[in-house]
């Protein structure tokens, strides 16, 4: 069923998350999360927080 809130005219459903796309999105999330955390820890250890 096509849901107008989530699916555009081209058929892109933004709540749909699967396959390679899901994998890539997870990867981005993971990299950013780890990067943010590592950065924050380093910044704190360097005495900037």
Partner 1 sequence: MNKLLVSGAAAVLLCLLCSGAPAAESPHGLAPAGDMPFIPDLGGLRHKAFKNQYGQQRELSEAVLVRQSSVKDGKAAVPAGGLCYISETEEDAAPFRRDPFLVLGEHAYLVDLKQTVRTVRDVNLKKGEKVLVDDAGYRLWFDYATDHYDLPYIQMALIAPSGHWPMEFSVSSKFPAIKDLPDRSHMEGDVEQLDEFFLDPVFDYGASRFEVKDHDFTKAHFAALSYPVIEEATFSLSRPVVLDLRQEEYRLYGTKRIYAFRESSGFRVRVTDFSGSTVLAEKLVRPVSSQGYKDEDKEKDAYSLTVPGEDMRIEIAVQPEYLRHSDFMPWSTAVPHDWQDGVLSFVIYRDLVTVKNGEAWPLDARYKVGLEANLLTGKLQRLTLENAEAFTLDAENDSFDGPVKYSDIWNRPAFRLVADDIEGDKVKSYYLRDAFFQRTDNLAFTDKGRKDIDCFIGRAPTFISILEDSFLTRLAMPEFGTEVQGSHFTSFPSVMPNMAFHSPDPTAPFGGLMRGFGREQVTNRRGERLTSSEGLVIRGSYVDWKNNRIVIPPSGLFYTSRNARNVRALNGETFYMLGRRAYIATFESTTFTRRNFDIDFWRVQPDASQHPIYWQDQPLGVNNKVLRLTESHLLDDRPMAQINVVKYSGNNFGAPFELAQGLSREQGDRYYLHDRFAEGATWIEPEFVGETYVRVKSFGTPAIQNVQYTYEKPVRVLLAPGEEKAVGKNHALKLVAFDEAAGTSTVELRRNDGSLVETRTLGPLTAETRAFLPQHQRVVNSLQFQFDEGKNKVLAEMDVKTPFEKGKAAFYTYVDLRKLESDTPYEGDPRFMVRPDVCGHCYQLNEVLLDNPEPIILDKEHPRFDGPLMADGKPQFSIVIDSFDGEMIHAWHIETNYRKRVFKSANLAFQPRNNIDVLMGVNGTIEGFLRASLMERSAWQEYWRTGTHPHPERGLDAWLAHKFQ
Partner 2 sequence: MNIPYEERRRSFLSCFYSMQESLPGLLAMFFIALFSNNLAGSPNPLTLENLFGWLDGVIGPVNHQPLFQILNSNFVWNPFLVGLIIGNVFGVPDSWKRGLSYIHKLMPLGIIMLAPHFIFSHAEKAGMPLILLAFAVMLLTSVVTMLLGRLLRMDDRFYSTVAGALSTGDPHVVAILMPMLKSKGGQVINALGSILLFGLVASFLLPLLGHALGMEDKAFAVLSVFGIGNTGQMFNAAFGYSYEAGHWAHYFESVRHALMPAGFLFVFFVMFIRARIYRDDENVMATRAHKSLPLFIIVFIIAYVVVQFHVVKEPAHLAIFELVKWDFSLAAAALGLSLPLREIAQWGLRGVVLAFTSGIIRIAVLVLCLLAAAHFNFPLF
The Cα–Cα gap between 12 and 17 comes to: 11
Minimum gap (Å) between residue 1 Cβ and partner 2: 10
Task: Identify which of residues 30 and 38 has a Cβ nearer to partner 1 in the complex.
Answer: 38
Residues 6+ apart with CB under 8 A from 25: 17
When asked if residue 19 is in the footprint of partner 2 (CB under 8 A), the reply is yes
When asked if residue 11 is in the footprint of partner 2 (CB under 8 A), the reply is yes
Minimum gap (Å) between residue 45 Cβ and partner 1: 8
SS3 20: helix
């Amino acid at each position: 069923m096509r849901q107008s809130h989530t699916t555009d005219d081209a058929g892109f459903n933004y709540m749909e998350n699967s396959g390679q796309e899901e994998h890539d999105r997870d990867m981005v999330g993971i990299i950013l999360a780890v990067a943010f955390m590592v950065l924050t820890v380093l910044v704190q250890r360097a005495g900037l927080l």
